[in-house]
Amino acid sequence: MEDGNIQPDPENIQFEPVNEASRKSQWLKVGLGLAGVILILILAWPNLRDQIVPRLGLADDAPLAELEQAAADDPDIDALQYDLAGAYYEAGRFEDSWAQFRVVEAYRLAADANLEIVQAEQTVQADPKSKEAHFTLGTTLARAQLVAPAEIAFKQAIALDSGYVDAHTNLGVVYYQMGRLSEALSEYDAALAVSPNDADVHYNKGATYVQQALQGSVLDETLLNQGVSEFQRALEIDPDLPQAHFSLGVVYATRGQNPEAISAFQRFLELDNGSDPEATAAAQDYLARLQEK
């Protein structure tokens, strides 16, 4: 695998980052997956459809003039502004793209406060054929919670190299965060087709199956089992992947498999480096309640 992906603890990542910037980018790869599983703990059985980012834009192949008119007619609809910015991006009209992104207040404020976004934009503009430049911009935007423009950048990196594992993985994480779970799975499958023994991608895929299992009014045991299988596969590859132990603990606890849940949470706490205090506190609380039974 090439450059880094997205989690505050790069030491558990399978690839070797090439520089400090890529080391910092690694949190997204697994971090958002773990955050999603924590939602199970905090919110019980949420209907995650309420968290899906609506896709209000026009078709991907809409003519540029149509996109420009739609964006002008509805300047307050962020999705339309991002659609137009993405069209400019794909056409190599980067100055227009950056300006259009900044029509959206969230992007403008983030870019004003984060020099890394501006630097990543400049790198793309200077070398538009560099898949790494688009990947770095996507990662930087995702870290700033600008998931819609991050999607645009990752898709451009993949357009330049369809086998770009890190870009497929991070695009999957972005889709996961947006609630577009089937698309997330497709990206993880694309990554695993090239790199089948990536523990982090198997973990992310498992987390996505678990979230899918919660979508209906009744827990989908088939999807939940698929999630468990992916977590177990991740641990076969990397037995010290803490996120997989945590997630298995949550699933086992919900199933009433208390001894297995206790073992999983204990192993998570043994491996935990404190980089995610929320996860640490959740595991400790879960373990204390399980041991009381």
Q: Are 211 and 184 in contact (CB under 8 A)?
A: no
State percent of the chain over pLDDT 70: 79
Is pLDDT of 46 > 70? no
Is pLDDT of 22 > 60? no
Helices 147-160 and 165-178 pack at an angle, to 10 degrees, of: 150
Is pLDDT of 28 > 70? no
Rounded to two decimals, what is the model's pTM?
0.81
- pLDDT in the model for residue 39: 41
- pLDDT in the model for residue 41: 36
Looking at every residue in the chain, the average pLDDT score rounds to 83
As a whole number, mean pLDDT of residues 139-168 equals: 96
Which of 16-20, 37-41, 102-106, 198-202 has the weakest average pLDDT?
A: 16-20
- The single residue listed with the structure tokens 């299992």 is 213
Condensed to tens digits (0 to 9), the pLDDT of residues 78-120 reads: 999 999 999 999 999 999 999 999 999 999 999 999 999 999 9
Query: What's the CATH class of domain 10-52+104-292?
Result: mainly alpha
Q: What is each CA distance from 198 to 126, 177, 193, 231, 235, in whole angstroms? A: 32, 20, 10, 12, 10
As a whole number, mean pLDDT of residues 40-58 equals: 34
- pLDDT in the model for residue 60: 57
Condensed to tens digits (0 to 9), the pLDDT of residues 166-193 reads: 999 999 999 999 999 999 999 999 999 9
As a whole number, mean pLDDT of residues 142-153 equals: 95
Q: How many CB atoms lie within 10 A of CB 130?
A: 14
Name the phi and psi angles at 90, rounded to 5.
Answer: -65, -30
Is pLDDT of 31 > 70? no
Condensed to tens digits (0 to 9), the pLDDT of residues 222-246 reads: 999 999 999 999 999 999 999 999 9
Q: Which tokens is 43 given?
A: 């919110």
Q: Are 177 and 62 in contact (CB under 8 A)?
A: no
Is pLDDT of 23 > 50? no
Condensed to tens digits (0 to 9), the pLDDT of residues 35-45 reads: 444 443 333 22
